Chain A
Amino acid sequence: MSNEFSLDATTESTAEHAIVLRDVHKSFGHGRYQVFKGVNLDVKRGEITFVLGPSGVGKSVMLKHILGLLKPDAGDVLIFGKPIPYDNASALNEMRKHFGMLFQYAALFDDMTVFQNVAFPLVEHRRSMTHAEMRLKVSEKLLAVGLDPEQSLDKFPSELSGGMKKRVGLARAIVLEPQILLYDEPTTGLDPVTRAMVDDLIVDTNKNFGLTSVVISHDIPSALYSADHIAFLFGGQIVFYGTTAGFRECQHPMVQNFLQSEERHRKEMHV
């Protein structure tokens, strides 16, 4: 097996789907807890795909499969048409450089400034870059996510608001210019204004950088606003995959339950 996970021009041009999960099975606790019972998902290139589902259904497990942090018991995970090289640590790391990820609480390193946080992937993977080049790159990415570099570069995460942390986390996720961006519950626990800001950020980042985005969430309004396609994970399988319009029409009881709960919540807010 090659040591490199290269996404050459041929691979990229032929792969219509950025991520493919094909009949993925996964269980934990020596088979006692079966999380995936044949998950199939095709994430189209350049689109924003939301993976929705109730808590504990295995949405984060899916992210870990996409990143190669977990290996399926059966089935395949393909990234731009190539299988994940689980048994080759350097090729796996090479593959991960094509991903960026925004964590639920941004996961910024507490002991590093905003500059050090965003520059971290550059320090690790672009060793030939000078400090000045890194500073320029970091400033460029901070501007792209709506932060003023002059105001934020030397701040520590503890000095930032929740929304600013998300922006810095996103700047860090895109600094290596990945092809795929993953979001883990990006709007959970945010106030409505910051939530709307994050929704816009997802759409703008995807468009401006020509990315493929996968968003793990249970936030229906966010999904309906930002998604090109929605996948609904329930009972170890994708029970719905389609457009936002199709999602509203879906007759699956759990999807209906989800939509009705959201509708009730929205009405209560208006009373």
Chain B
Amino acid sequence: MLKMLEDKMKHENDKWLEDQLKSEPKIAEDDFFNLVMDDVKAIHARSGARRKIVLFSTYLIAFVTFAIVTPWQWISTQISSGRAEILNNFSAGAEMQTPIMTLSVIFIISFLGVVLGLEQK
């Protein structure tokens, strides 16, 4: 009988304690949210600026590599000979320099177009 009473008391005490523990510490309404959000926005702006620098550097490196590595001479020769064949004109040697320049400009403009298009997205 005494044991049952003790068990019951213990159970009641546990229940009371668990009920008490459910209450959260009182947190006052203050400027905490705004402080956090100011910092979050600052971090966001910083990471945005960093991302832009990284992207710009990547594009610059890609552009330089593209300009150096592209076999302009070969492309120009191929196109010139193809054109000569079509036009049946075998004296295209003198016109070689013009297609190289034109091709470079066309390729560079298309490259920049692709890059700017991607950046817009």
Q: Do A and B bind?
A: no
